Amino acid sequence: MNPPEWLSRVGVVGCGVMGTGVAELCAVRGLDVVVYGRRETSTDSARERLATSLDRSVRKGRMTETDRKEALSHTSFTTDLGALHDCRIVVECAPEQEPLKREIFTALDRTVTDDDAVLASVTSSLPITRLARATSRPAKVIGTHLFNPAPAMPLAELVPTLLTDDETVRRAEEFLGDALGKQVIHAPDRAGFLVNTLLVPYLLSAVRMVEAGVASATDIDRAMAGGCGHPMGPLALVDLIGLDVIAQVANSLYDEYKEPLHAPPPLLSRMVEAGMLGKKTGIGFHNYRD
């Protein structure tokens, strides 16, 4: 499918797993994408992560070697935010920290020259209005919550604010649906949107069961996978997403709703402080080092 006529160039801010995943999504569908990172070590890591993911797709028969080379030709990496000045949509994929995201949106407001460009965030929990107010063009700011891993997960939550104009909503939906091939649902601008408002309390409940000694992480995961048909258990999912991300989302939900079930359990907080973040560090509720 051809991308919309207005979508000539995509910017991505952030070189982590999500930023690289968004870049891959764009590149394999023929969109030119430039990925910004603050340090060369970050952009080098993102470039390597992208190449590894594309290599895996070739090995598994999901794309040809020609397709792989074509996708790489559509992708560039930079430590100069000014390189995103002519992008028609910029997707912010920074860590789930509101001050950092607000700083990025203020910088993008100064950098992106097209007044009609869409400024989007993949935040999984922060209200988009707070990010929009960091710019002089809140009507052009919208949430585009993608799920990890972005190239594989089919859903995207589209989150307009009370200030987002109709044209921005239309363009963001075209970007997610027509250009990236995602199933798009509209979600309210409230902490957690739709998916995480339901998912995170369930994950936190599983953490509390381990904390209380009700059952082991292995047995809880086996129970939910085997008994409820889930593709993986809740604690394996926490490890996949990252314990630090789950704790940040939980804090955002608790700040918004003040519901005790949203508060991060002490065990989760201690594990984050200990650097036990799940798969990305090799250990979380399960051991991945072997």
Which residues are annotated as catalytic? 124, 145, 157, 196
CB 220 within 8 A of CB 209: yes
Q: Within 13 A of 216's CA, how many CA atoms are on the CB side? A: 4
In angstroms, rounded to a whole number, what is the distance separating the alpha carbons of residues 55 and 33? Answer: 19
Contact 22, 100 (CB under 8 A): no
Say whether 125 counts as a known binding-site residue: no
Cα distance between residue 171 and residue 117, in whole Å: 9
Q: Is 136 assigned to a binding site? A: no
Residue 257 parent element (H or E): helix 243-257
Round to whole Å and give the CA distance between 151 and 28: 9
Q: What DSSP string runs through 208-240?
A: HHHHTTSS-HHHHHHHHHHHH--SS-HHHHHHH
How far is it, in rounded angstroms, from Cα 284 to Cα 87?
38
Q: DSSP string spanning 153-222?
A: --EEEEE--SS--HHHHHHHHIIIIIIT--EEEE--SSTTTTHHHHHHHHHHHHHHHHHTTSS-HHHHHH
**DSSP β-ladder status, 89-92 and 33-36:** unpaired
Cα–Cα nearest to 150, from 16, 10, 2, 17? 17
Tally of CA atoms within 13 A in the half-sphere of 210 that contains its CB: 24
8 is in an annotated binding site: no
First-residue to last-residue Cα distance in the chain: 42
Instruction: Point out the annotated binding site for CoA.
Output: 53, 60, 124
Instruction: Point out the annotated binding site.
Output: 53, 60, 124
